[in-house]
Structure 1
């Protein structure tokens, strides 16, 4: 069947926009529940940090508990993606959201009861392991519907904007609930939204990609997404993005405390995430003439450059402005990385690939929360801001050294785009 979206784009030579993307038949059936279901993801870490810091009095302790959750998510998310590829998204989501709601509720109760650190760890592990991977699942639905279409890169930009909108709303909401209602209110809301939103999304069965175990014909050996060299490089690079998220969350929280205005933390983080969202909107409207590898490295150069000044800032307006610039550099890197998955990974392993990248962000965030928490306890918020700089600089070095592994497996520079149409593809 001819892809009319692709044909029209080829004739006009213009990149399809968001309006054309959102008119794709059937997409709203999973976009709305997917948006609701991913909101809690942005609330979990900051909710844990605010609650545990309140009950223990230590950013270091709060960071360690949040890190356990993040590491657990990073380790289990790819397995969740692999199972979703093989058995279907609903089969993974339904039990996952039930376990997550129970685990977060237990973690909240233990923290309020002043339980020892090991008990908090015991609840943090299943809380992180069961975080529903809604973002990767939505991306997999886009990839299944738009395979071979130039709309796929627009969809990647749209998903980045959606993710970053959650990181605007989520931390602000969690901070407002924790500081204005009760220290545990943020996590209670997170668990409630996860349960309701996750079950709503899981009910949209018609749009989920066909599980690989149901494919007809000869049995095809399952290929792990991590066996693709480019996915491994992207996962390492995404650790740097995670270090920005984690370091900014802890350090901005401490900065607001030092400034005597804890409530401004949500606004500061919202500006940072808002820059990310704004950049994502713009990226989705540009018909890029430079290749994805160069865009990826350009984003990381900007990240490292602007992150290098965070530790020296001592006023709220300056931190807000520099945080905005850091946020503007994240979206291009995220969008490019997720878009590259389409050309690097077979369709039967894409959900797993997306979860490896999401898990890498979570792992980087977890490590950053731990290190930034320790540095903040010992030396103040300025020291915590060194973490985003270190993480992005290391990721940039990896990208420069291993950039050749980000090329798609096909050696040609021409790719099929719909039946009867071939257009040149920029691979560098």
Structure 2
């Protein structure tokens, strides 16, 4: 298995290490879309937990709450790639504005039905538009980075930065949702989620100058626009990201149940925040390291660590032990998550890149939805320890798939990547060809 060591050396000959976050943030136009983008993404970390807490409060059942949250997640997973495809072809603002308006209305309707004591079927029905209208701001931000940094050594740093931003929302979002739902009102989490999505989404959509260019269904030469799903590497990454989503979903339900079992419901937000903080810390580290091994190997090694860490969660018998294990699980998620997003540039062409990012985001949501449903039923029947078995099983299956299909994660056309790299080096005055190998 080859690595991109030669590339690393060529890029570091004029700099001591990979360009850091400071250089990334100095990219022209970056802050104009990063700040509103963060405001629009924060609610994503609040949505599932806010639904769980509200529906569990109104129905008294984690299983019912898990069903409603799962319907939301599945709806988002199915709609995200469609939203990504339309975004590639119509532009981000054209898609985002109607989506955030729809989402605010749908979440408001779901909240009203839950407070009115509506039956489970009605809550599940209302959850469909609430999930389907979740704006895909994270993939849109990643697509803006990919468009502005194509071929730049800053691109892996941008991928790490985006993962850190995502995980920061999963640190702040659950803590905020728990505080609002337990300290203010059971519906306060969803109300805040809808308001932040609407405000942040509209502000982000207004930043049109940094949008990636629109790709028509067919190019001027008559070349047909390929679906991102037609690239086998993306399909393998989708399986890996479903496993990561199962960790998020299983942790959300099981941590909430564990906190109730020990008589301290407020500990849920803290425990989940520690778990997400581990992910964020690892993400920051990932972006600062100039790796000597290729992305495919990093992905597999990261997933091995994640599977091993998730396999011991069920054995925790105190909040301190569970918090420590949750931190380790969080530290192991970032290497797999960041590397998977980074690999999209070499596996999928630019015309389908937003769609590809939304497939991965949708895969996380799908895994989260399935885990919430299964962990909710296991928790109701047997307690939180059985809920923690869901992340263990999901990551083990995903790891087996990664190992069996790892050859499909090699870039489709390495010669094109070599040519691009050689041109960039020559423009810097190196005056010689630099061989590039792809892992």
TM-score class, shorter: over 0.9
Q: 1:266 to 1:238 in 2, by over 3 A?
A: same
Counterpart check, 1:191 vs 2:202: no
Q: What residue is the counterpart of 2:63 in the other structure? A: 60
Q: How far apart, CA to CA, are the structure 2 residues paired with 1:98 and 1:11? A: 48
Q: What residue is the counterpart of 2:4 in the other structure? A: none
Q: CA deviation at 1:388?
A: 0.6
- Which has the higher mean CA deviation after the structures are superposed, 158-167 or 405-414? 405-414
Contact 1:290 1:426 in 2 (8 A): no
Which residue of the other structure, out of 301, 304, 311, is the alignment partner of 1:298?
301
Look up the SS of the partner of 2:210 in the other structure: coil
Counterpart check, 1:153 vs 2:156: yes
Q: 1:345 to 1:178 in 2, by over 3 A?
A: same
Q: CA deviation at 1:415?
A: 4.9
Counterpart check, 1:122 vs 2:125: yes
Counterpart check, 1:427 vs 2:424: no
Look up the SS of the partner of 2:381 in the other structure: helix
Counterpart check, 1:414 vs 2:418: yes
Q: CA deviation at 1:121?
A: 1.5
Deviations 1:80-117 (A, max 9, x none): 00000000001110000011000000000001111011
Q: How far apart, CA to CA, are the structure 2 residues paired with 1:423 and 1:220? A: 32
Contact 1:415 1:424 in 2 (8 A): no
Q: How far apart, CA to CA, are the structure 1 residues paired with 2:12 and 2:151? A: 12
Contact 2:219 2:225 in 1 (8 A): no
Which residue of the other structure, out of 137, 141, 145, is the alignment partner of 1:138?
141
Counterpart check, 1:352 vs 2:345: no
Deviations 1:241-282 (A, max 9, x none): 000000000000000000100001000000000000000000
Q: What residue is the counterpart of 2:265 in the other structure? A: 262
Aligned length: 423
Q: How far apart, CA to CA, are the structure 1 residues paired with 2:217 and 2:284? A: 37
Q: How far apart, CA to CA, are the structure 2 residues paired with 1:214 and 1:398? A: 32
Q: What residue is the counterpart of 1:210 in the other structure? A: 213
Which residue of the other structure, out of 384, 391, 399, is the alignment partner of 2:394?
391
Counterpart check, 1:309 vs 2:305: no
Q: 1:411 to 1:27 in 2, by over 3 A?
A: closer
Q: 1:7 to 1:94 in 2, by over 3 A?
A: farther
Q: 1:385 to 1:24 in 2, by over 3 A?
A: same
Alignment of 1:16-415 (within 5 A): 16-213=19-216, 217-412=220-415, 414-415=418-419
Contact 1:228 1:345 in 2 (8 A): yes
Q: CA deviation at 1:12?
A: 2.7
Q: 1:110 to 1:424 in 2, by over 3 A?
A: farther
Contact 2:72 2:130 in 1 (8 A): yes
- Which has the higher mean CA deviation after the structures are superposed, 16-25 or 365-374? 16-25
Deviations 1:303-325 (A, max 9, x none): 11111111011100000000000
Contact 1:291 1:426 in 2 (8 A): no
Contact 1:243 1:387 in 2 (8 A): yes
Q: What residue is the counterpart of 1:3 in the other structure? A: none
Q: 1:415 to 1:49 in 2, by over 3 A?
A: farther
Deviations 1:161-195 (A, max 9, x none): 00000000000000000000000000000000000
**Any unmatched runs of 5+ in structure 1?**
1-5
Using structure 1 for the length normalisation, give the TM-score.
Answer: 0.96
Q: 1:233 to 1:176 in 2, by over 3 A?
A: same
Using structure 2 for the length normalisation, give the TM-score.
Answer: 0.94
Q: How far apart, CA to CA, are the structure 2 residues paired with 1:382 and 1:214? A: 49
Look up the SS of the partner of 1:12 in the other structure: coil
Look up the SS of the partner of 2:14 in the other structure: helix
Q: 1:10 to 1:227 in 2, by over 3 A?
A: farther
Q: CA deviation at 1:220?
A: 3.3
Q: How far apart, CA to CA, are the structure 1 residues paired with 2:436 and 2:200? A: 38
Look up the SS of the partner of 1:114 in the other structure: coil
Q: 1:253 to 1:426 in 2, by over 3 A?
A: farther
Q: 1:304 to 1:407 in 2, by over 3 A?
A: same
